[in-house]
Amino acid sequence: MSCGVRRSWMAALGAALLLLAGSARAAESIAELKEKLLKHEDFRVRTQAALALGATASPEAVDPLCQGLGDGTDTVRAAAAAALGKLQRGGLDCLRARLDKESDENVRKMIKKAILLIEQAAAGPAITASTKYYLAVATTVDRTAREESEVDALVRAVLAEQAATLAGCALAPREETPEQARKRLRPHPQVLGMLLAPEVFTPEYGDGQLTVRVELRISGHPEGAAMGSVQRSRTAAGVPDRDVAKENDLIRATTRDAWAHFAQLLAQMSQAD
């Protein structure tokens, strides 16, 4: 691949990422995104559909993304691989099968990265002598009347981002069972296992305002003893009608607020010890 073609390839993928991040439209269903990925004539639309599927947090997105690995355009194949790596809900077999026949070096790199991300997620985090907390995140209870996987992806991304900033915190694999958690934690009695169970309540519209409320219920992990909860809300003015993009912004911000209070509680617990 020439330098000029490589720049075009990267520019196209970057443009699709920007379009996806900045989209103010209501989320499309997985079925609609699958249709675009597999049948739309414009490779840019197929690329964006692949990336959007990777942001759904739904295992139903794995099959269309695996099919997308066979697209005739390298940009789309790379986006499908990147989406599987972000999704981390399966697809190792189809990624490995595609790697064996993929000729484009940039796509091969994306496939290898996706395989590594999925394998790392399945293996779980490294727990060391400096690890203090082992944090599992439950599927978000969604009261917004939208696709549950969409809201869960927003909340989970914020919690994972914040957990990465907390010293001594290891994030549990998404699909880990309680028995697997017990086995992982058994050699590390110094580690406090916790489960965060998020809930996003029905957005409230009125008088030109939008209010979003998020709760994090906290319990021991994997045993499940209740430890308390944190609830926060945010209000935005100038929102007379339903605005999904604004709801998303407030869900992210309110989840960060709830996490901040949760982190304060952990700090107080550490000081008390």
- CATH no., domain 133-272: 3.30.160
Per-residue pLDDT of the chain (273 residues; tens, 9 = 90+): 444 444 444 444 444 444 443 333 335 788 999 999 999 999 999 999 999 999 888 889 999 999 999 999 999 999 999 999 999 889 999 999 999 999 999 999 999 999 999 998 887 888 999 999 999 999 999 999 887 678 998 899 899 999 999 999 999 998 889 999 999 999 999 999 999 999 999 999 999 999 999 999 999 999 989 999 999 999 999 999 999 999 999 999 999 999 999 999 998 887 766
Distances (CA, A) of 162 to 80, 100, 128, 202, 219: 26, 37, 20, 24, 18
Q: Is the pTM of this model over 0.75?
A: no
Cβ pair 203, 210 in contact under 8 A: yes
**Where does the chain hold its CATH 1.25.10.10 domain(s)?**
3-123
Cite the residue boundaries of each domain of the chain with CATH code 3.30.160: 133-272
Its CATH class, for the domain covering 3-123, is: mainly alpha
C-alpha to C-alpha distance for 76 and 22, rounded to whole angstroms: 19
